[in-house]
């Protein structure tokens, strides 16, 4: 079996791993590159093999850095099945068309305002192409064996990162290749912990937070404090949040804080049509996460869901303390950009990040203290307080990753550390050697290895 790293190397985005076995080709994850321009340009590069020669795609989870290239692959001729858990399929049903719509809007905006160097700027794919990709999905239950191509068995195990998020076991000829997928944490507000890993000969493990520990203090307290401070200043809290997963965790956290009287009874707006839909999906699939139907009702019932563009625009002129949760989570696009334009210049306001901010995104610039960020072609000064709350992230930290790896019944014979920026991936490689005695490799983009 041959494994080729077509993304998720040196970055947390663009996860794509090509598995070749007995003449068949399976693509594990089909993600978008995001962040730095040199990475985003890879979305436009042809894959090393024609899309129609990929026999099947398997997705670990629905986040766009794992699924968002799929519409492009289908548009280029991929005609095989896309295997995923049922929840991943449902979430992709929201995320992919939304992604296509955003890409179209961005291209259209760039053309209208003439700030793209491409004439005309074209979207990577359209909403219609994204909808066409949804027809290829084949949903599966947890732990049920699937045979995506002859001679290869596949099984999904819960990874605790997001609704439907899975680790993948691929088995062939008595050997097992395990993809961790994005791993959640033991103490997530929303998701149960990842399932303990079973034995595997080869492991591909993520390293998003491979060089970091989440703060040990109560993440709700840190959130409560920033909301209190900002409302005492008469300001607005803007939370760029991944529409799927983190937005729901935040709404739950804010509802709990309000109920306990730890933050004022201020309005909370959810301004992302997709996040609102995803919230309904979380409420429907409550057996898959920690929140009871009552928790869902409390968390999602108290929030003001912003439906129309007019309402969204009105949110840019709030004159009382409020919280606005809006996508995208790394401030790379979406409605949150308009709120950042409106609220970043005023020191009374706060911008709160809860998820990982990939290099090259506006989110990373903001958490690193940029005095201004470029939005829609113009520089917006940043005087608002910028706060990072990694304690509310949906990813395991270094200790969590090592604990999960260390729970394997035996050391795999080959370990590849992926899905991390260079320092994070290398830090996890080193920690795994020191703590577990494992010899891991951090692959480069387009590296290809024969699995032994």
Binding positions for Zn ion, rule: CB under 5 A: 63, 182
Q: What minimum distance in Å lies between the beta carbon of 397 and Zn ion?
A: 15
Alpha-carbon distance 235 to 321, whole Å?
A: 5
Give min distance, CB of 205 to Zn ion, in A: 14
Cβ proximity to Zn ion: between 182 and 421 the closer is: 182
Tokens 């995001």 -> residue: 34
Q: Shortest gap between Cβ of 394 and Zn ion (angstroms)? A: 7
**Least distance CB 16 / Zn ion (angstroms):** 14
Of 63 and 89, the one with the shorter C-beta distance to Zn ion is 63
Q: Name which of 171 and 182 has its Cβ closer to Zn ion.
A: 182
Residue 181 near residue 167 (C-beta atoms within 8 A): yes
Question: Least distance (Å) from Zn ion to the CB of residue 330?
Answer: 12
Contact by Cβ (8 Å): 12, 419: yes
* Distance in Å, CB of 355 to Zn ion, minimum: 9
Report the 10 Å Cβ neighbour count for 423.
12
Paired tokens of 421:
């920026």
Supply the minimum distance, in Å, between the C-beta of residue 63 and Zn ion: 4
Looking at the Cβ atoms of 32 and 177, the one nearer to Zn ion is 32
Minimum CB distance to Zn ion smaller for 42 or for 63: 63
Burial 52-62 (b: 16+ CB within 10 A, else e): eebbbbbbbbb
Distance CA 123, CA 121 (A): 7
Distance of closest approach, residue 365 Cβ to Zn ion, in angstroms:
21
- Nearer to Zn ion by Cβ, of 182 and 288: the residue is 182
Pick 235 or 394: Cβ nearer Zn ion: 394
C-alpha radius of gyration, the chain, whole number: 21
Nearer to Zn ion, 130 or 191 (CB): 191
């Amino acid at each position: 079996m041959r494994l080729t790293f077509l993304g998720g190397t040196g970055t947390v985005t663009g996860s794509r791993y090509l598995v070749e076995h007995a003449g068949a080709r399976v693509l594990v994850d089909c993600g978008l590159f995001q962040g730095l321009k040199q990475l985003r340009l890879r979305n436009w590069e042809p894959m090393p093999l024609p899309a129609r020669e990929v026999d099947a795609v398997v997705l670990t989870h629905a986040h766009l850095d794992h699924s968002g290239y799929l519409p492009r692959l289908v548009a280029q001729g991929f005609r095989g099945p896309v295997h995923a858990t049922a929840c991943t399929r449902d979430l992709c049903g929201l995320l992919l068309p939304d992604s296509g719509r955003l890409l179209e809007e961005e291209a259209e905006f760039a053309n209208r305002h003439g700030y793209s160097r491409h004439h005309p700027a074209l979207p990577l794919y359209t909403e219609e192409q994204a909808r066409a990709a949804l027809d290829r999905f084949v949903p599966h239950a947890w732990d049920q064996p699937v045979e995506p191509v002859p001679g290869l068995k596949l099984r999904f195990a819960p990874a605790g990162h997001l609704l439907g998020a899975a680790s993948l076991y691929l088995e062939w000829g008595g050997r097992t290749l395990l993809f961790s997928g994005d791993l959640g944490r033991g103490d997530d507000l929303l998701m149960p912990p990842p399932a303990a890993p079973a034995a595997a000969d080869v492991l591909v493990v993520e390293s998003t937070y491979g060089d970091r520990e989440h703060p040990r203090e109560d993440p709700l307290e840190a959130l409560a404090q920033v909301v209190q401070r900002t409302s005492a200043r008469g300001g607005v809290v803007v939370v760029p949040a991944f529409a799927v997963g983190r937005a729901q965790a935040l709404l739950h956290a804010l509802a709990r804080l309000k109920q306990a009287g730890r933050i004022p009874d201020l309005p909370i707006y959810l301004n992302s049509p997709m996040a609102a839909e995803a919230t309904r999906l979380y409420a429907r699939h409550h057996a898959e996460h920690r929140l009871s139907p009552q928790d869902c009702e409390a968390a999602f019932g108290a929030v003001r869901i912003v439906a129309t563009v007019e309402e969204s625009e009105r949110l840019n002129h709030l004159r009382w303390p409020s919280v606005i949760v809006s996508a995208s989570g790394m401030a790379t696009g979406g409605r949150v950009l308009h709120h950042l334009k409106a609220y970043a210049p005023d020191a009374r306001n706060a911008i709160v990040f809860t998820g990982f901010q990939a290099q090259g995104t506006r989110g990373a610039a903001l958490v690193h203290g940029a005095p201004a960020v470029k939005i829609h072609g113009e520089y917006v000064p940043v005087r608002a307080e910028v706060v990072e709350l990694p304690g509310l992230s949906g990813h395991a930290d270094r200790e969590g990753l090592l604990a999960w790896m260390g729970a394997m019944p035996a050391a795999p014979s080959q370990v590849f550390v992926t899905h991390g920026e260079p320092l994070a991936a290398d830090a996890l490689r080193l920690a795994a050697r020191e703590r577990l005695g494992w010899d891991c490799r951090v692959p480069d983009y387009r590296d290809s290895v024969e699995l032994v």
